[in-house]
Structure 1
Amino acid sequence: MYYGAIEAGGTKFVCAISNDDFEVLDRVSIPTTTPAETISEVFNFFDRFSLKSIGIGSFGPIDVNRSSKTYGYITTTPKKGWVNFDFLGNIKERYNIPVAWTTDVNAAAYGEYKKGNAQDSSSCIYLTVGTGIGGGAVVNGNIQAGFGHPEMGHVLVQPHPDETYQGSCPYHDNCLEGFAAGPAIESRYNKKGHELENDIKVWEMEAYYLAQALVDYTLILRPERIILGGGVMKQKQLFSLIRTEFGKLLGDYVATPDLNQYIVEPGLGDNAGITGCLLLAAESADGKVS
């Protein structure tokens, strides 16, 4: 029997199975179209295997409040057709096995905490910077959630002194995602990020916004490590720019680990999310989560 994992993104679903050692034995990438089409393909993949459990890390917002009537739903997502979709219910109706349910970024944070660049720490934050911005946190082995899950991409930031762009978020005028996600970069400059690789001013502004958010997370959660992933962070020059700006903004107010070890890239690369889902599937099978 195998562990199953679903890393559900707004662009694609990655489904995988692993053995007890979390070695991925088979995987598939499925375009995120309509719920009916996408979930049908998910079933086509998993129906071929005998599963112990499944771990799901989903794009959101999602309902993680177990006392809520819509627990297990994707809720107010901008992804057309997926609003108020009972994701967890559809999976449990098909497979009578334990299913772990969290956000895609929480799953990535958990993967990095257990198997990646935070496995020597007791706490970490994982922030993905791509089509959107989202973050998850693990503290003392527990994924952090309260009434709902964190929405780290929508913390408010101060506009850069040279900013002329109005932001891309339909909900907030000056949130991190609206100023620093991939679509914001493209809209501001009318070019893709990879076309702007050598324009240092572009990445200094990007670092200005991301560093503000990292200071906020640092002051609130005091993590031992902050891991930055996603398509925008493929621009490796960003890391040193963010560390420099972070140091300026934080000052000497609180201590942090050395910034070269504090603000880092994912140790698992693009596999952080799927690894986290498999780990949560295993814990679900052991009765630790459901």
Structure 2
Amino acid sequence: MRPARRHAVTWSTAAVSSSGSSSASAAPTSRPAALVASDIGSWPLVAGVELGGTKSIAVLVRGPVIEERFEIPTIGPDETLPVLADWLLAQQARGARPVALGIGSFGPLGLDRGAANYATLGATPKFGWAGTDVLAPFARLGVVATALDTDVNAAALAEATWGAARNARVSAYLTIGTGVGVGIVSRSDDGLHRIASELGHARVRRNDDAFPGVCPFHGDCVEGLASGPAISMRTGRAAGSFDPADPVWDDVAREIGELLSIITLAVSPDVIVVGGGVGLSSSFPRRAVVEAAERRLGGYLPGGRSVSDLVTWASFGADTGPIGAAALAYTALPSSPEPRGIMQAQVAAA
């Protein structure tokens, strides 16, 4: 079990125009990060669960601040889900009373509450999880207000609510880790809207890259070519063990760069936030990926912007996913302390 990561918070207010731009100067998008919140005490305690391809995390959160955190490897559903639920039950026994639960899970995932497959995983590359109801094991918590989405959409919501995309009209979150996924959030006068995407399984143009890919469904989709397991299969080494300038990244950078260009053309985002274990590693070739996207676009980007203007990195690092699950939990409440205007906060790890 990892100790909770706490943050020192200093709050200031800035109004947001209907276009999504702030009337105050934007705070930095890396730590210390800009967050959306009012007084931290006005946020009720909620629980969040992130089900990732490699690890799963349960948290207790107020606003964007993790108060308690628990992490285990993602094994099978019977070895993972009850353990997370047991930890949350133990927190309740100690006096914690989360008023809502949010779950962000790898997919594909049934998200229609009126459908028979709600909360149920479909044909997922994660062995043994297809057909699993990811919400049912948490029913014994007695938390009525629940919200569910894919893990990448949850991360996208965290960044749009409290992080690097807090001023964006449309934002995308690209995670590169055990899998590759894209979450999309649009902002309107009545709040933030999440859009389901499976762009991580898109196929891209390839040069002389003969690697067949590891995706059990598509072989050489982006996830099959550029996820952590794909890089390990290509090289026999972990993705984080390479220098960013190592030629082993050449094909991966082109393929991720093309995915960035697809995201840019498909949804015209104001910002693309990159996260995930591979995407945030010190070995990831950030410049090469951005340059590859620029080449694929060939200068075709409205407003005279460049891909380097659009791309930034996850504000909350490895905690973006569980904080996103908490952001989902707040959407399940009939009312939330989240203001229509941006309340910016400088956050520094304490």
Please report the TM-score for the alignment, with normalisation by the length of structure 1. 0.90
Q: Please say if 1:189 is aligned against 2:231.
A: no
**Offset, 1:95:** 2.1
Distance 1:135 1:198 in 2: 23
**Offset, 1:6:** 0.3
Task: Name stretches of at least 5 consecutive residues in structure 2 with no aligned partner.
Answer: 1-43, 337-350
Distance 2:76 2:224 in 1: 25
Higher alpha-carbon deviation: 66-75 or 199-208: 199-208
Q: What secondary structure does 2:332 align onto?
A: helix
Distance 1:181 1:81 in 2: 20
Distance 2:298 2:159 in 1: 28
**Offset, 1:168:** 1.2
Alpha carbons of 1:245 and 1:78: their partners in 2 closer, same or farther (altered >3 Å)?
Answer: closer
1:52-201 equivalences under 5 Å are 52-92=99-139, 94-140=141-187, 141-144=192-195, 149-161=196-208, 163-197=209-243, 200-201=246-247
Alpha carbons of 1:123 and 1:259: their partners in 2 closer, same or farther (altered >3 Å)?
Answer: same
8 Å Cα contact 1:116/1:272 also seen in 2? no
Distance 2:80 2:215 in 1: 26
8 Å Cα contact 1:55/1:281 also seen in 2? yes
Q: Please say if 1:15 is aligned against 2:58.
A: yes
- Match in the other structure for 1:221: 267
Question: 2:322 corresponds to which letter in structure 1?
Answer: I
Alpha carbons of 1:278 and 1:251: their partners in 2 closer, same or farther (altered >3 Å)?
Answer: same
Say which structure is richer in helix. Answer: 1
Give the length in aligned residue pairs: 282
- Match in the other structure for 1:270: 318
- Match in the other structure for 2:254: 208
- Match in the other structure for 1:251: 298
- The equivalent position to 1:282 in structure 2, one of 313, 330, 333, is 330
**Offset, 1:17:** 0.7
Please report the TM-score for the alignment, with normalisation by the length of structure 2. 0.75
Q: Please say if 1:27 is aligned against 2:69.
A: yes
Question: 1:44 corresponds to which letter in structure 2?
Answer: D
Question: 1:143 corresponds to which letter in structure 2?
Answer: R
| Higher RCO (CA 8 Å, separation ≥ 6 residues) | 2
Alpha carbons of 1:125 and 1:30: their partners in 2 closer, same or farther (altered >3 Å)?
Answer: same
Task: Name stretches of at least 5 consecutive residues in structure 1 with no aligned partner.
Answer: none
CA RMSD of aligned residues (A): 2.0
Q: What secondary structure does 2:183 align onto?
A: strand
Q: What secondary structure does 2:247 align onto?
A: helix
Higher alpha-carbon deviation: 6-15 or 98-107: 6-15
Distance 2:278 2:333 in 1: 35
Alpha carbons of 1:73 and 1:93: their partners in 2 closer, same or farther (altered >3 Å)?
Answer: farther
- Match in the other structure for 2:79: 37
Deviations 1:15-71 (A, max 9, x none): 01123x442211111222332332221222111322201011011111112332111
- The equivalent position to 2:289 in structure 1, one of 239, 242, 265, is 242
Question: 1:251 corresponds to which letter in structure 2?
Answer: G
